[in-house]
Structure 1
Amino acid sequence: MAKKPRQKILFIDDIPALCEEMVTTLCNEGLEAESNLSPLDAIPKVVRGDYDLIITGMVIAELGGFEIIRSIRGGGCRVPIIMVTGFGTEQSAIEAARLGVADYLTKPIESKELVARVRRVLWEHAPSPPTRHKSLARMISGDAKMNTVFEKVKTIAPTESRVLILGETGCGKQLLAHAIHQQSQRSEQPFVEVNCAAIPSNLLESELFGHEEGAFTGASKKRIGRFEAAGNGTIFLDEIGELGFELQSKLLHVLDSGKYTRVGSGKDQISHARLVSATNRDLMKEVELGRFRADLYYRLNVISIELPPLRERPGDISLLAQHFVNQFVPEGRQPPTFTPSAVEMMRLYPWPGNVRELQNFAEQLAVLHRNTHIEATDLPSRIVQHGLAGPNAVSSKERLPFRKAKDQFEREYLLGVIQDANGNLAEAARLSDMDRAQFYRIAKRHGLTTNPDS
Structure 2
Amino acid sequence: MGNGTVLIVDDEPNAIKVLSAILLEADYNVVESIDVDMALKALHQEDVDVVITDLRMPGRDGMQLFEHVTENHPDIPVIFLTAYGTVDSAVHAITHGAFYYFIKPPDYLKLKSILARAVEQRRLKREIEALRKRLAEETSLPRIIGKTPQMLKIFNTIETIKDSESSVIICGETGTGKELIARALHFGSTRRDRPFVAVNCAAIPRELLESELFGYERGAFTGAVSRRIGRFEEASGGTLFLDEIGELDLSVQSKMLRVLQEREIERLGSNRKIKVHFRLVSSTNRDLEREAKAGNFRKDLLYRLNVIQINVPLLRERQDDIPLLVSEYVNEFCIREKKVLTVSDEVMRIFHDYHWPGNVRQLRNVMERAVVLSKGETITSRELPDEFVSLKKREGPLHSLRTLSELESEAVKNALRVCNGNKSKAARLLGISRKALYKRIKDWNIE
- The answer on whether the counterparts of 1:330 and 1:366 sit within 8 Å (CA) in structure 2 is no
Residue in 2 that maps onto 1:380 = 385
- The answer on whether the counterparts of 1:137 and 1:179 sit within 8 Å (CA) in structure 2 is no
Out of 207, 218, 227, the residue aligned to residue 202 of structure 1 is 207
Residue in 2 that maps onto 1:177 = 182
Residue in 2 that maps onto 1:300 = 305
Residue in 2 that maps onto 1:264 = 269
Residue in 1 that maps onto 2:147 = 142
- The answer on whether the counterparts of 1:348 and 1:387 sit within 8 Å (CA) in structure 2 is no
Task: Show the 5 A alignment for 1:399-418.
Answer: none
Task: Show the 5 A alignment for 1:30-109.
Answer: none
* CA-CA distance at 1:389 after TM superposition: 3.9
- The answer on whether the counterparts of 1:171 and 1:308 sit within 8 Å (CA) in structure 2 is yes
1:160–1:391 CA distance, 2 compared to 1 (3 A): farther
Residue 235 in structure 1 maps to residue 271 in structure 2: no
* CA-CA distance at 1:164 after TM superposition: 0.2
Residue 250 in structure 1 maps to residue 255 in structure 2: yes
1:257–1:328 CA distance, 2 compared to 1 (3 A): same
* CA-CA distance at 1:244 after TM superposition: 0.3
Give the RMSD, CA atoms, in angstroms.
2.4
Task: Show the 5 A alignment for 1:361-400.
Answer: 361-389=366-394
Alpha-carbon displacement from aligned partner over 1:221-244 (angstroms, at most 9, x marks no partner) = 000001111120000000000000
Out of 150, 156, 164, the residue aligned to residue 161 of structure 2 is 156
* CA-CA distance at 1:277 after TM superposition: 0.3
Residue in 1 that maps onto 2:345 = 340
Residue 349 in structure 1 maps to residue 357 in structure 2: no
* CA-CA distance at 1:348 after TM superposition: 0.7
Residue in 2 that maps onto 1:289 = 294
Out of 317, 325, 328, the residue aligned to residue 320 of structure 1 is 325
- 2: CA distance, partners of 1:207 / 1:290: 25
- 1: CA distance, partners of 2:236 / 2:397: 55
Residue in 1 that maps onto 2:170 = 165
2:145 counterpart SS class: strand
Supply the AA of the counterpart residue of 1:216.
Answer: F
Residue in 1 that maps onto 2:365 = 360
Aligned residue pairs: how many?
265
Alpha-carbon displacement from aligned partner over 1:2-22 (angstroms, at most 9, x marks no partner) = xxxxxxxxxxxxxxxxxxxxx
* CA-CA distance at 1:189 after TM superposition: 0.4
Residue in 1 that maps onto 2:19 = none
Residue in 2 that maps onto 1:67 = none
* CA-CA distance at 1:298 after TM superposition: 0.5
- The answer on whether the counterparts of 1:193 and 1:237 sit within 8 Å (CA) in structure 2 is yes
1:334–1:204 CA distance, 2 compared to 1 (3 A): same
Alpha-carbon displacement from aligned partner over 1:223-272 (angstroms, at most 9, x marks no partner) = 00011111200000000000000000000001111111111111111111
1:141 counterpart SS class: coil
Supply the AA of the counterpart residue of 2:143.
Answer: R
- The answer on whether the counterparts of 2:196 and 2:240 sit within 8 Å (CA) in structure 1 is yes
- 2: CA distance, partners of 1:243 / 1:381: 37
- 2: CA distance, partners of 1:147 / 1:198: 31
2:310 counterpart SS class: strand
1:237 counterpart SS class: strand
1:391–1:292 CA distance, 2 compared to 1 (3 A): farther
1:344 counterpart SS class: helix
- The answer on whether the counterparts of 2:371 and 2:379 sit within 8 Å (CA) in structure 1 is no
1:221 counterpart SS class: coil
Supply the AA of the counterpart residue of 1:161.
Answer: S
- The answer on whether the counterparts of 1:163 and 1:275 sit within 8 Å (CA) in structure 2 is yes
1:338–1:159 CA distance, 2 compared to 1 (3 A): same
- 1: CA distance, partners of 2:395 / 2:261: 51
1:244–1:371 CA distance, 2 compared to 1 (3 A): same
Higher helix proportion: 2
Alpha-carbon displacement from aligned partner over 1:403-451 (angstroms, at most 9, x marks no partner) = xxxxxxxxxxxxxxxxxxxxxxxxxxxxxxxxxxxxxxxxxxxxxxxxx
1:139 counterpart SS class: coil
TM-score, normalisation: structure 2 = 0.56
- 2: CA distance, partners of 1:378 / 1:361: 9
- 1: CA distance, partners of 2:387 / 2:236: 46
Residue in 1 that maps onto 2:220 = 215
TM-score, normalisation: structure 1 = 0.55
* CA-CA distance at 1:297 after TM superposition: 0.3
- The answer on whether the counterparts of 2:264 and 2:275 sit within 8 Å (CA) in structure 1 is yes
- 2: CA distance, partners of 1:311 / 1:388: 21
- For structure 2, list consecutive stretches of 5 or more residues without a partner in the other structure: 1-134, 402-447
- The answer on whether the counterparts of 1:261 and 1:269 sit within 8 Å (CA) in structure 2 is yes
- For structure 1, list consecutive stretches of 5 or more residues without a partner in the other structure: 1-43, 49-74, 76-135, 397-454
- The answer on whether the counterparts of 2:369 and 2:383 sit within 8 Å (CA) in structure 1 is no
* CA-CA distance at 1:367 after TM superposition: 1.3
1:392–1:232 CA distance, 2 compared to 1 (3 A): farther
Supply the AA of the counterpart residue of 1:233.
Answer: G
- The answer on whether the counterparts of 1:177 and 1:236 sit within 8 Å (CA) in structure 2 is yes
* CA-CA distance at 1:392 after TM superposition: 6.3
1:285–1:331 CA distance, 2 compared to 1 (3 A): closer
- 2: CA distance, partners of 1:149 / 1:392: 38
- 2: CA distance, partners of 1:303 / 1:203: 29
- The answer on whether the counterparts of 1:287 and 1:294 sit within 8 Å (CA) in structure 2 is yes
Supply the AA of the counterpart residue of 1:213.
Answer: R
1:348–1:262 CA distance, 2 compared to 1 (3 A): same
- The answer on whether the counterparts of 1:335 and 1:366 sit within 8 Å (CA) in structure 2 is no
- 1: CA distance, partners of 2:182 / 2:288: 18
- 2: CA distance, partners of 1:308 / 1:332: 31
1:177 counterpart SS class: helix
Out of 192, 197, 200, the residue aligned to residue 197 of structure 2 is 192
